[in-house]
């Protein structure tokens, strides 16, 4: 059975032909890295043309026309687009220089400019494509349809946008709740970790409110819709993200800004030299010693090959190095932005902690004494049949203590409530406080959110859980502080839980009980004081991630919304990479500066003698290309892990 074509990737990639719905799947690969392949082929033809130029000029020119066709046509189209927008930039300068070089008989030099220019554009395209395709692979779709229960009881799908308030929707175990609503039938545990940062799932039953975006864990729920999709919790957060993105400081690439001034200046100077040299120095206008020739030579020599390659080669090398480590920046410029950050804001659940629960202890509360190991065996044997973070934590706890799982008879699961069964002839029940109180008719102490209760033939036990800290989190915090970065924790979880984690990790500033809008406000406030990077994973972090100077999300545990809103993704959720990323960002910045200085130095060194007629044009071009090679080699240093 063929899977129907999904248009999401096609539109997300801005209608790239490599994912075009109209092309046969087998032929789409013909469009892959087309610019790069075209640039490399043009480079090969240029090399052949250069060799042939020593034997047969017409034959060499045949190949050269192919180079101008392959590399020159895209450059010409781009430049005309720029000019139609009244923009004079490096692209325009390079194209102008390349085509004007034909007039003064330097076709090979012009072709070289075009090939390098095309190569640079292809590398930039590759950077964008590389990050985009990986992000798409991570993208987990949020629900766009819901199962409606019709008046006659028939269940059918309907678009979220068309579901009115009061409609009844069915949400099965494992599905995401699509719209805000009130439970009218069923019971289940729901996971709010991505929405609020609370790691403990909550039991929901008739009459309880459930928000859109929450995960339904173990039961089937029938919900009466209380808010339309436009007003749902997730939609409100997405609106916040849009507002935050608009408020985000625009990071303009230095080279773009510089390029506009540089290109305009060089073009104007060339015109000025063409007119002034004959007027003031008595040179002829035409001929190889004339003013126009020298002005054109100046224009070509000042075309910044090394400069245009300085940024994409550095970014591509840095991004490749990051990708090998499991870091995915959405564009090289984000690395630049990381290097400027003075504050780091960290979410708690899922970021500093794994979001998984760990059983820390067992305590007998009342009843005849029972071997705790037997109690653990009974609890784990029952929970082995459940799909719930607590169940996983309990079975892992039993395994770590090498306690054997026992066979269970008469097992029954009451979704969102608890489990019951007979384990090794011991009738037992396990679950949340209300369930045990009701079933065992015992009174329990005040509720501990991170706990579950076991009742075995009159003996009552409580198991305590904690959110697991990520390995290396403490080391990372210490490193960031050592680099004079201000470290703060922003969490939607309760203050007590947040303080405990912060204390253990050495974080001094903690802001707890924050709703998504509070996180956004806090990040806005902090970012006004100094550039800030925010690390988070939940939907509730997404607006703050979008607003921060740099938003970093956890790729595995992270919600699709957070991944979308962030600028950099840690694919394997490894927080220890923050330390490495910070170093790499500084290294990238340093190498970029070196590249730009080198490129400008070469241009200055090559253009002045060309203008004065001290060196022929081909010498200037060779100096140029020497600089380009050096810039490329310097960028390759960033590939090192």
Partner 1 sequence: MKTDHFEGKSVLEHLKEARAKGGLAAAEIHGTEMPGHLSAAADAARDTAVVLLFLWILFPVQPALFFLFAAGLFLWKIGRSALLGWARLERLHRVIEEERWEIEHQREQEREELAALYQAKGLSGKLLDEVVTVMMADDNRLLHIMLEEEMGLALEIYEHPLKQSFGAGVGVLIATALFAAGYFFFSPLVATALTLTMAALIVAKLERNRRIEALIWNLSLVAFAAAAVYFLKLTIL
Question: Which residues carry out catalysis?
Answer: 347
* φ, ψ dihedrals at 576, nearest 5°: -65, -20
Q: Among the candidate windows 13-21, 270-278, 478-486, 573-581, which touches partner 1 by CB under 8 A? A: 13-21
From 25-33, 441-449, 455-463, 476-484, give the range in contact with partner 1 by CB under 8 A: 25-33
Question: How far is 139 from 454, CA to CA, in rounded Å?
Answer: 39
Cβ within 8 Å of residue 167, ≥6 positions away:
148, 158, 224, 225
Contact status: 58 vs partner 1 (CB under 8 A): no
Pairwise CA distance, residues 343 & 161, whole Å: 39
Confirm or reject binding of residue 7 to partner 1 (CB under 8 A): yes
**Interface positions, 91-150, toward partner 1 (CB under 8 A):** 144-145
Does position 4 interact with partner 1 (CB under 8 A)? The reply is: yes
Q: Is 44 in the site for partner 1 (CB under 8 A)?
A: no
Asked if 434 touches partner 1 (CB under 8 A), the answer is no
x-or-dash string of contact with partner 1, 578-607, rule CB under 8 A: ------------------------------
Q: For residues 527 and 214, what is the distance between their CA atoms, to the nearest angstrom? A: 29
Q: Which is nearer to partner 1, 157 or 443 (CB)?
A: 157
Residue spans of beta strands (DSSP E) within 470-540: 486-490, 509-511, 532-536
Q: Return the closest-CA partner of residue 612 out of 144, 271, 293.
A: 293
Stretch that binds partner 1, among 20-28, 182-190, 359-367, 391-399 (CB under 8 A): 20-28
Question: Any contact of residue 23 with partner 1 (CB under 8 A)?
Answer: yes
Does 34 help bind partner 1 (rule: CB under 8 A)? yes
CB of 69 to partner 1, least distance (A): 8
Instruction: Tell me if 558 sits within 8 A of 296, measured CB to CB.
Output: no
In whole angstroms, how close is the CB of 191 to partner 1 at the nearest point? 25
Q: Which is nearer to partner 1, 230 or 506 (CB)?
A: 230
8 Å CB contact between 306 and 595: yes
In the numeric block, which tokens belong to residue 459? Answer: 């003996």
DSSP H helices in 217-356: 233-247, 254-281, 291-301, 305-325, 333-340
> Strands across the sheet with 426-431, in order?
353-366, 459-469, 451-456, 426-431, 418-423, 408-414
- Identify the residue among 47, 59, 103, 162 touching partner 1 (CB under 8 A): 162
- Size, binding site for partner 1 by CB under 8 A: 32
Nearer to partner 1, 23 or 40 (CB): 23
* Nearer CB in complex with partner 1: 87/175: 175
- Residue 611, CA distances (Å) to 90, 114, 119, 531, 614 in order: 20, 22, 27, 44, 8
- In the complex, least distance from residue 138 CB atom to partner 1, rounded to whole angstroms: 19
Asked if residue 408 lies in contact with residue 422, where contact means CB atoms within 8 angstroms, the answer is: yes
Residues at the interface with partner 1 (CB under 8 A): 1-2, 4-8, 10-11, 15, 17, 20-25, 27-31, 34, 144-145, 154, 156-159, 161-162
């Amino acid at each position: 059975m063929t899977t129907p074509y999904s248009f999401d990737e096609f539109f997300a990639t801005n209608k790239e032909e490599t994912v075009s719905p109209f092309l046969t799947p087998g032929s789409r690969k013909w469009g892959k890295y087309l610019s790069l392949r075209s640039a490399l082929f043009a480079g090969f033809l240029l090399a052949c043309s250069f060799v042939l130029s020593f034997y047969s000029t017409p034959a060499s020119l045949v190949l050269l026309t192919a180079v101008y066709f392959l590399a020159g046509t895209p450059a010409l189209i781009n430049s005309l687009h720029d000019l139609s927008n009244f923009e004079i930039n490096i692209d325009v300068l390079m194209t102008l220089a390349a085509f004007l070089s034909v007039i003064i008989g330097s076709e090979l030099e012009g072709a070289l400019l075009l090939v390098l220019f095309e190569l640079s554009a292809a590398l930039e395209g590759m950077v964008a494509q590389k990050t985009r395709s990986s992000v798409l692979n991570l993208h987990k779709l949020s629900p766009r349809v819901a199962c409606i229960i019709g008046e006659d009881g028939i269940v059918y799908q309907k678009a979220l946008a068309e579901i009115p308030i009061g409609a009844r929707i069915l949400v099965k175990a494992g599905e995401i709740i699509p719209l805000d609503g009130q439970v009218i039938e069923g019971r289940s545990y729901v996971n709010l970790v991505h929405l609020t940062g609370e790691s403990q799932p909550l039991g929901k039953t008739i009459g309880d409110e459930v928000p859109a975006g929450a995960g339904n864990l173990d039961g089937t729920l029938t919900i009466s819709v209380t808010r339309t999709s436009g007003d749902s919790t997730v939609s409100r957060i997405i609106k916040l993200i849009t507002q935050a993105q608009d408020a985000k400081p625009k990071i303009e690439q230095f080279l773009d800004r510089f390029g506009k001034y540089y290109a305009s200046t060089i073009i104007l100077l060339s015109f000025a030299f063409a007119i002034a040299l004959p007027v003031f120095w008595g040179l002829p206008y035409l001929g190889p010693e004339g003013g126009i020739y020298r002005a054109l030579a100046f224009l070509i020599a000042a075309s910044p090959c090394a400069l245009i390659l300085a940024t994409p080669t550095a970014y591509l090398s840095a991004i490749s190095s990051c990708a090998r480590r499991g870091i995915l920046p959405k564009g090289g410029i984000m690395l630049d932005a990381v290097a400027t950050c003075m504050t780091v804001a960290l979410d708690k659940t899922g970021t500093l902690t794994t979001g998984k629960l760990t059983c820390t202890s067992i305590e007998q509360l009342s009843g005849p004494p029972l071997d705790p190991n037997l109690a653990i065996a009974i609890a784990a044997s029952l929970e082995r049949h459940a799909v719930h973070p607590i169940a996983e934590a309990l079975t892992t706890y039993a395994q770590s203590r090498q306690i054997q799982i026992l066979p269970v008879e008469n097992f029954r699961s009451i979704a969102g409530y608890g489990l019951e069964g007979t384990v090794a002839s011991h009738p037992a029940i396990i679950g949340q406080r209300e369930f045990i109180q009701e079933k065992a008719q015992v009174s329990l102490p005040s509720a501990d959110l991170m706990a579950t209760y076991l009742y075995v033939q009159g003996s009552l036990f409580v198991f305590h859980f904690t959110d697991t800290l990520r390995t290396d989190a403490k080391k990372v915090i210490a490193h960031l502080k050592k680099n004079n970065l201000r470290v703060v924790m922003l969490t939607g979880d309760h203050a007590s839980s947040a303080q405990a984690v912060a204390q253990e990790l050495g974080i001094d500033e903690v802001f707890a009980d924050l709703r998504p809008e509070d996180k956004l406000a806090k990040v806005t406030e902090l970012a006004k004081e100094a550039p800030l990077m925010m690390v988070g994973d939940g939907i509730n972090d997404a607006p703050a991630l979008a607003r921060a100077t740099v938003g970093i999300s956890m790729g595995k545990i992270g919600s699709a919304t957070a991944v979308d809103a962030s600028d950099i993704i840690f694919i394997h959720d490894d927080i220890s990479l923050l330390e490495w990323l910070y170093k790499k960002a500084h290294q990238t910045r340093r190498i970029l500066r070196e590249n730009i200085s080198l490129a400008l130095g070469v241009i200055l060194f090559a253009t002045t003698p060309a203008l004065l007629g001290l060196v022929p044009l081909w010498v200037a071009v060779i100096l140029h290309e020497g600089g380009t090679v050096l810039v490329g080699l310097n960028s390759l240093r960033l590939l090192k892990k």
